[in-house]
Structure 1
Amino acid sequence: MSRTTLLSLAQALGVSRTTVSNAYSRPEKLSAELRERIFATARELGYEGPSPLAASLRKGRTDSIGVLFTDDLGYAFSDPVSTLFLAGVAGQLQEAGHALTVLSAPRSGGSGPMSRAMVDGLIVYSVDEDSPGLAVARKRAIPSVLVDQAPETGTACVNVDDRVGAEAAVAHLAAQGHAAIAGVAVAAGDSGAAAEQCVLVGNNATSRSYVVRERMVGWRHGCEDAGVPPPVMVSCPANDAEHGRHAARLLLEAVPRPTALVCLSDELALGVMAELAAQDLRVPADVSVVGFDDSPAAAMAQPPLTTVRQPARDKGALAAQLLLDRLRTGEAGSSQLLATELVVRSSTAAPAADAATRPADPSRSRKGRRHAGRSDR
């Protein structure tokens, strides 16, 4: 049985193809009686309406907005900060009658789906500056808004004040008396390249990620202002608790051992705390820990995590609204810098007199590892 098309429906009704098309796209041009006759015959013949793709091509728009990530799509929907951000974007788009398309921009291996994505506009969210996917988006000249990216002339950008937030975290630790502070970051290094495992990197490490650079600069400035040595840095290949644990193991071997750790994210900080528990080191009595984001898990950690709060959901909603405004007016709009806030909880305290030299008790480390899974919940 052949598929019913708009043309065959028109022939069955004895009207023009344009008349049938108007019933679906411009109903005001037809009488109510004629429209109902067209729809009744369409139901009888199994015709479901014009192709959405064809309609998009005719209109010159898809009513869909893309969000471009560096990381894979699984990360986009599992990382707590990313999910809050996407919720903010989705809520704003839903009110405007737009769909959301989430796209990945791999760090290597081509541009991913960006070269064939059918979107009216694009929110570029924390994408590496040398990403092939980002290069394709720019070549296609898709109207865009940048989020957690270096500001660019002619494109609206939504950032949080990462540098000030990172400075506040270090200032808080220094005020408590910490002088041996270390940082746990992602994809940091002199070349900005991501390693396959966590590695110690120089105090002046850089990154392909704007957010990572800004937070590391904030840590360094905070140490400089407080008159303490610049932080020892560990670079992790991914932003998750398991790499936070590996970073903690590296830093526990440092001499002198840091008495406080500042982390690029709460996820890394929770992993750090889990490893400290496994090594029978107490937070904050032996090591203080500070995160960044104030994800839902931060307040529920044991002990509750001191962190830098950023408005992830509001950031997503604002980015979506700026892009919708750009599509409506053709104007790029103004960039926005959102404030951060240090949230002090129980994971930070003054260092013990021997915190930098006291080793974990080897006889208890097996027990600590057995219970480590509880500390990041």
Structure 2
Amino acid sequence: MSSAFSRLDQLSRELRERLLAAARELGSPRSDRMSNTVRRGRTGAVGLIVHKPLRHLFEDPAARLTMAGVARICGERGSALVLVPRAEAGVPDVVATAQVDGFVAFCDPLEPERRETLRARRLPVVGLDAPVAPGEPYVGIDHRAAARAAAAHLVDLGHRRIGVISLGPARGPETAVVPAGFDGPSGYVANRARLDGYRDALRPVVADGGRVVVVVARGGEEADGAAATRALLDLAEPPTAILAMSDRLAFGVIAAATCRGIRVPGGLSVVGFDDVPAAAAATPPLTTVRQPHVRKGAEAVRMLLRPALTRAALILPTEVVVRASTAPPRT
């Protein structure tokens, strides 16, 4: 009976009533609570699906801000928040059983199996950063335009040898210099869009004889950014500027350059993406793309809980914040 209680929303109305009646006769402590839930037609909870381990929501500064926005609106609406981590082999997927009124999918992309599970449950889903499926509602930013603006900043400064640190997945266990440039492997919608944006802005540099090299990092932490930077600095013609796909990677770039005795921005300009709080406090303060993390999370929950607000997409603004980590290349 307990397993049936965990998926009441998937049962027919007649079967639900019979189950609840039987539970009342047996004196089940859950029967009254579940009866009220079924009669109201809602559970009072929102599920947040993530494509990484749960620790990512607490350790990654951009993810923390986004989750804060989700939690803020849940609190205002009196809704509980259920965290749903990525599915692991041999472990039942919580998406199939979570007692929620709908999901915000902080996933890029959402696994096909999970899409099928959500379709079977017939619960509303709003994507966060990317749509769950083409045409489905989501809240995000124009990643391509934001990346294009970041790269254009370096072009305007006069840089002609530029490195790009892309988020994985890499083909192998180590950081890899991708010879195919912007057509290298990318498993994420946002990552692909940012690569396309960088390419848009850097195409004239390549056409004019400049060089752009893309490195695929193993992960998204500072150490991964540092490893990718070392691969770029070991090139025969190292870059004079690096575009990092996130601020955390950019912090690793600055650390690796400093260890090599390369001053930022005197010897190497660095641009991040996210504008997390530590970006302004970095040494030097980091030039980066600002995106509204808290608002993204908040708008996704608003869209989920107020169907009248639902639209195909809500695209929020971004801007390049120029700080002291970028300067013209040394002649």
Deviation digits for residues 130-156 of structure 1, max 9, x if unmatched? 454344334433211111114745521
Matched, 1:253 2:234: yes
1:333 to 311, 324, 327: 311
Structure 2: how far apart are the matches of 1:177 and 1:154? 40
- Corresponding residue of 1:296: 277
Any residues of structure 2 matched to 1:219-238 within 5 Å, and which? Answer: 219-225=198-204, 227=207, 229=210, 231-238=212-219
Give ranges in structure 2 of 5+ residues lacking alignment: 1-27
Matched-pair contact (CA < 8 Å) for 2:270–2:325: yes
Matched, 1:159 2:147: no
Structure 1: how far apart are the matches of 2:88 and 2:218? 12
- Corresponding residue of 1:198: 175
Deviation digits for residues 159-204 of structure 1, max 9, x if unmatched? 1121111111111101111011111111256xxx6x4332122211
- Alignment partner of 1:181: what SS? strand
- Alignment partner of 1:231: what SS? strand
Structure 2 CA distance for partners of 1:152 and 1:48, relative to 1, 3 Å: closer
Matched, 1:114 2:98: no
Matched-pair contact (CA < 8 Å) for 1:266–1:293: yes
**Normalising by the residue count of structure 2, what TM-score does the alignment of the two structures yield?**
0.83
Matched, 1:352 2:330: yes
Q: CA deviation at 1:55?
A: 3.5
1:74 to 44, 52, 55: 55
State, as a whole percentage, how many aligned pairs show the same letter.
35
Q: CA deviation at 1:56?
A: 2.7
Structure 2 CA distance for partners of 1:187 and 1:53, relative to 1, 3 Å: farther
Aligned residue type for 1:333: R
- Alignment partner of 2:139: what SS? strand
- Alignment partner of 2:297: what SS? helix
331-340 or 239-248, larger mean C-alpha shift:
331-340
Structure 2 CA distance for partners of 1:87 and 1:165, relative to 1, 3 Å: same
Structure 1: how far apart are the matches of 2:77 and 2:224? 39
Any residues of structure 2 matched to 1:1-377 within 5 Å, and which? Answer: 51-106=32-87, 112-130=93-111, 132-150=113-131, 152=133, 154-188=135-169, 195-201=172-178, 202-203=180-181, 204-225=183-204, 227=207, 229=210, 231-326=212-307, 332-353=310-331
What is the total number of aligned residue pairs between the two structures? 301
- Corresponding residue of 2:7: none
Matched-pair contact (CA < 8 Å) for 1:107–1:132: no
Deviation digits for residues 57-115 of structure 1, max 9, x if unmatched? 45442111111111110001111111111111111111111111111124877774222
Structure 1: how far apart are the matches of 2:203 and 2:88? 33
Q: CA deviation at 1:316?
A: 0.8
Q: CA deviation at 1:294?
A: 0.3
103-112 or 197-206, larger mean C-alpha shift:
103-112
Matched-pair contact (CA < 8 Å) for 1:106–1:131: no
Matched-pair contact (CA < 8 Å) for 1:188–1:212: no
- Corresponding residue of 1:30: none
- Alignment partner of 1:55: what SS? helix
Structure 2 CA distance for partners of 1:172 and 1:187, relative to 1, 3 Å: same
Q: CA deviation at 1:277?
A: 0.8
**Normalising by the residue count of structure 1, what TM-score does the alignment of the two structures yield?**
0.73
- Corresponding residue of 2:10: none
Matched-pair contact (CA < 8 Å) for 1:251–1:258: yes
- Which has the greater radius of gyration? 1
Matched-pair contact (CA < 8 Å) for 2:105–2:132: no
Give ranges in structure 1 of 5+ residues lacking alignment: 1-46, 354-377
Matched-pair contact (CA < 8 Å) for 2:108–2:190: no
- Alignment partner of 1:238: what SS? coil
Aligned residue type for 1:199: A
Q: CA deviation at 1:119?
A: 1.4
Structure 1: how far apart are the matches of 2:203 and 2:166? 19
